[in-house]
Structure 1
Amino acid sequence: MEAVKLLKEDEVIGMPTETVYGLAANALSEIGISKIYSVKNRPQDNPLIVHVSSLSMLESIMPDNRIPPIYLPLLEKLWPGALTIIVPKADIIPSAITCGQPTVAIRFPSHPVARALIERCGFPIAAPSANSSGKPSPTLASHVMDDLNNRIPLILDGGQCDFGVESTVLDGLRNPPAILRPGGCTYEDIQKLPGMEKLQVYRKHFVDKQLEMMPTTPGMKYRHYSPEAAVVLFEHPVDGSNGRDTVAAIQKEIDRLIEAGQQNLKVGVLHTSDEFQDLSDNKAQIISQQMGRASHPEEVAKAMFVGIRHLDSQGVDYIFIEGISEDREGMAVMNRLRKAASTIIQL
């Protein structure tokens, strides 16, 4: 109720969702929206996602109170959940949320705290990830505290987020429909539903430079998810992972950095393969951490940002990350890792 009171007073707070922690404000308040941008130091042309607590709330903020029919089979199966849909913008939605675009991104979270908060407020909530713009997404309340302490009045602690990556953003208004940002709801889940048979994925099946310059959803235009340490991503061929190859490539990269004059090298390694237990190098200090099993991409999605933030807190110079297959949640994992990486090494 304290959070509800603050949101009704046009304040911003940290709230848990099943994907990542959000920086919440009243989605119908120009003042609250402006505070989101200033607290995060977020670019003014990076749109926000609006969260609702029911289909009736969604209808109340739609032009003519009508949900586009293309989405109805998806909402029945996948809402509440980690799916965001692109819909026409009604006048009631401030243009600051959409950055002047004629569409708005909306989702119905499944997290009980997020749903209860929105329901008690009685209005939709805008909530990008509750981190400093460009930093790794927060999946624990302590991550929000690390990034935004003294900048917001309250954080609701709901424990670790279930998914660990942001929602999937689907534009069903395009023909064919397209995933603009892969996330917690998988391509496989969406593609089997009516009307989604020809589903495409942005940057996998098509690119649109105009869409990148004036995005309809977060996560398209700017570099994201980056810690202080430089991130190096080691990508496997499409036919699968081989941990031994990655270990060899990491040791080769360490040798290259030392030969280039890097002194007192401290490296963090996030991996999924058991072979990394043997990773050691007397020329560098190595902190190795497993982020789940490659055959279980949902584990990697949940642990990835936690691992990146933990290694960054250890003061490493580089974070080396083993890539995984793009099957199911792996598509969202690799999307985030490619955006976080300053260097990508193809194996």
Structure 2
Amino acid sequence: MKTKVYKVERWNPEPHIIAEAAYAIRSGKLVAFPTETVYGLGANGLDDGAVRKIFAAKGRPGDNPLILHFASSEDVEQVAYVNERAKLLMDSFWPGPLTLVLPAKPVVPNSVTAGLGTVAVRMPSHPVAMALIKVAGVPIAAPSANRSGRPSPTEAASVLADIGDDVDIILDGGATDVGLESTVIDVTGPSVVLLRAGGMPVERLEEVIEEVKLVPDEAKKKRSPGTRYRHYAPLIPLLLWKNGVLRHSPLVMGKRIGYIGIKEPPFPVEEKILFKTPENYAQGLFLAFRTFEKKGIEVIVAEWPNSKGIGLALRDRLSRAAEEEL
């Protein structure tokens, strides 16, 4: 299959390109597209056969649920039972990088919910994503558009490199804004539970709702995508520089070292990528992994960020990629 790659204007995506991509979605095909967080691999979320193509393309375990993307909060009623707390969160933070886990209606395929009885839903803010969902007229199931376990793609070239042969259309809308996946919270119970830290800081959520519980039990973790332990990982070892300490430091001896972070590296390195803010760090993290791979770097050392704001999500991604505890 020859993948079609279309460059699209971010703020005014070309209607004929969006129409072709939307038709592909309705026809059971796969379309990769930009969101404000990362690039998503989209299929008709109500078509079980199309959804299973996502799992095949990514090599994704079938017990890992997917997120359904919508063009309006009202449309979520098609697939989920929406409570008042969820409506408040939608009104406050949608469109944006926040995913809500809600009780699922029978119309949602088990391939989307992983048989859990709940469904993850969100409304992205990227104009290309919104245009595609509106014209397609169906909820779009879309995990990150990469091989399972790899760093999520923040530009179209990474999508093409990872899964290009398995995607019908890639919409190239440039680099994404946030660089990390959405925050996922469970709003089905008496308390709001954080299932995955992401682009929406917990501090912002707590400005409009009660305290968000940060440590879910293992059963609830299974209700969210992206919570398997080894995830977001580069092909080369990743070590974390935490509080002036580098665990497994013998691994860097005699190696070509690449460094990423905000502060200057603690020792001489061959390549370094420095960011001005935690937000910049989040936006550039996954691309930095891929850049060092291409340059033949043998070990990556990453600065452990502060846990405030986007830093909590950065810590989550770094710990999973390095296979270290938070």
TM-score by structure 2 length? Answer: 0.90
Q: Work out the CA distance in 2 between the residues paired with 1:182 and 1:13.
A: 26
Give the equivalent residue in structure 2 for 1:299: 280
Matches within 5 A, 1:244-255: 245=244, 249=246, 253=249
Report the counterpart of residue 13 of structure 2 in structure 1.
none
Question: Secondary structure of 1:150's partner?
Answer: helix
Moved beyond 2 Å, runs of 4+:
60-63, 209-212, 278-281
Q: Work out whether 1:150 is the aligned partner of 2:138.
A: no
Partner of 2:162: helix, strand, or coil? helix
Match of 1:218 in 2: 225
Query: Paired residue for 1:137?
Result: 152
| Contact 2:33–2:171 (Cα < 8 Å) also in 1 | yes
Q: Is the 8 A contact 1:230 1:342 kept in 2?
A: no
Give the Å deviation of 1:301: 0.8
Contact kept in structure 1, 2:239 and 2:322, CA below 8 Å: yes
Equivalent of residue 233 in structure 1, options 232, 240, 243: 240
Counterpart-to-counterpart distance in 2, 1:222 and 1:331: 16
1:239 paired residue number: none
SS at match of 1:166: coil
- Counterpart pick for 2:312 among 306, 328, 331: 331
Structure 1: which amino acid aligns with 2:213? Q
Q: Is the 8 A contact 2:229 2:323 kept in 1?
A: no
**Kept in 2: contact 1:229–1:318 (CA 8 A):** yes
Secondary structure at the counterpart of residue 158 of structure 2: helix
**CA contact under 8 A between 2:201 and 2:310: conserved in structure 1?**
yes
**CA distance in 2 between partners of 1:108 and 1:343 (Å):** 32
Match of 1:7, SS state, is helix
Alignment match of 1:180 (pick from 174, 192, 195):
195
Q: What corresponds to 2:8 in structure 1? A: none
Q: Could you tell me how far apart the structure 1 residues matched to 2:32 and 2:296 are? A: 26
> Are 2:97 and 2:124, in contact at CA under 8 Å, matched by a contact in 1?
yes
Residue 340 of structure 1 corresponds to which residue in structure 2? 321
Matches within 5 A, 1:68-147: 68-147=83-162
Cα deviation digits, residues 324-345 of structure 1 (max 9, x gap):
101001111111000000457x
Task: Return the letter of the residue paired with 2:256.
Answer: K
**TM-score with structure 1 setting the length:** 0.84
Separation in 2, partners of 1:129, 1:98: 16
* In the alignment, structure 1 residue 280 sits paired with structure 2 residue 268: yes
Task: Return the alpha-carbon distance in structure 2 between the equivalents of residues 47 and 308 of structure 1.
Answer: 25
Contact 1:235 1:322 in 2 (8 A): yes
The question of whether the paired residues in 2 share the 8 Å contact of 1:266 and 1:316 is answered with yes
Question: Aligned Cα RMSD in Å?
Answer: 1.9
Tell me what 2:273 maps to.
289
Distance 2:140 2:162 in 1: 21
Take 2:183 and 2:251, find their aligned partners in 1: how far apart are those partners? 37
Per-residue deviation at 1:171?
0.8
Q: Deviations over 1:102-160 (max 9, x none)?
A: 11000000111101100001110000000000000100111101101212121101111
Residue segments in structure 1 that go unaligned for 5+ positions in a row = 237-244
Q: Cα offset for 1:300?
A: 1.0
C-alpha contact 1:139 1:164 (8 A) present in aligned 2:
yes
Report the 3-state secondary structure (helix = DSSP H, G, I; strand = E; otherwise coil) of the residue aligned with 2:22.
Answer: helix
1:200 equivalent in structure 2: 213
3-state SS of 2:90 partner: helix
Distance in 2, Cα, partners of 1:11 & 1:98? 20
Match of 2:251 among 250, 257, 276: 257
- Determine if the alignment matches structure 1 residue 209 to structure 2 residue 218: yes
1:242 equivalent in structure 2? none
Cα distance in 2, alignment partners of residues 130 and 198 from structure 1: 32
The amino acid across from 2:297 in the alignment is V
State the alpha-carbon separation in 2 of the partners of residues 91 and 343 from structure 1.
Answer: 38
2:256 equivalent to 1:266: yes
Instruction: Report the Cα distance in structure 1 between the residues aligned to 2:218 and 2:229, rounded to whole angstroms.
Output: 13
Deviation at 1:61, TM superposition (A): 2.3
User: Is the partner of 1:156 in helix, strand or coil?
Assistant: strand
* Cα distance in 2 between the residues matched to 1:74 and 1:343: 32
Q: Kindly tell me the number of residue pairs found equivalent between the two proteins.
A: 308
Structure with larger Rg: 1
State the Cα distance separating 1:279 from its structure 2 match: 4.2
Gaps of 5+ in 2: 1-18
Q: Is the 8 A contact 1:232 1:342 kept in 2?
A: no
